[in-house]
Amino acid sequence: MEIRFCEDGKKPNSKGLVNLKVGISLEGYKTVWVASGVQVPSNTLDAHYQICKSENGQIDKASLEFYNNRLVFIRKKLEAIKMSFEYERMAYSPDDIIQQFKKPVINPISFLALIEKTLAEYSAHLTPNTIKSHKSSAENVKEYLAYSNQTKILAGQINTEFLRKLEIYFKTVHVPKSHSHGLKMKSTSIKKLITFILKVISFGVDTEVINAKELKYKVNTNDVSQDYSHLSQQEVEALEKLSPFVCEKYQRVIDCFLWMCYTGQSHIDTSGLTEAQIHKLDSELTMLGGKRSKTKIDYSVVVNDKALVLIEKYGSIETIPCLHLTTINEELKVIGKILGFKISLSTKIARRTFGQYWYKKTNIADKFVSRMLGHNKADTKKYYVNLDMEDVAHAVKTAKELN
Q: What would the mean pLDDT of 125-134 be, rounded to a whole number?
A: 84
Q: Could you tell me which residue, 34 or 63, shows the higher pLDDT?
A: 34
pLDDT for res 187? 80
Most confidently modeled range among 86-95, 338-347, 381-390: 338-347
DSSP structure class, residue 396: H
pLDDT for res 225? 42
Q: Which of 52-61, 94-103, 169-178, 389-398 has the lowest mean pLDDT?
A: 52-61
Q: How high does pLDDT run on average in the chain? A: 76
pLDDT at 13 over 70: yes
Give the strands of the sheet with 32-41, arranged side by side.
2-7, 17-25, 32-41
pLDDT at 132 over 80: yes
pLDDT in tens, 320-362: 998 888 889 888 988 888 888 878 888 888 888 888 888 777 7
CB 293 within 8 A of CB 128: no
pLDDT for res 140? 92
pLDDT for res 53? 52
Tell me the backbone φ, ψ of residue 179, rounded to 5 degrees: -65, -20
pLDDT in tens, 216-263: 777 766 544 445 578 888 889 999 998 888 888 889 999 999 999 999
pLDDT for res 243? 86
Q: State pTM to two decimals.
A: 0.47
pLDDT for res 388? 62
Distance CA 383, CA 370 (A): 8
Element (H, E) at 24: strand 17-25
Q: Going by C-beta distance under 8 Å and a sequence separation of 6 or more, which residues neighbour residue 387?
A: 300, 367, 368, 371
Q: Could you tell me which residue, 292 or 360, shows the higher pLDDT?
A: 292
pLDDT category of residue 196 using cuts at 50, 70 and 90: very high
pLDDT for res 141? 93
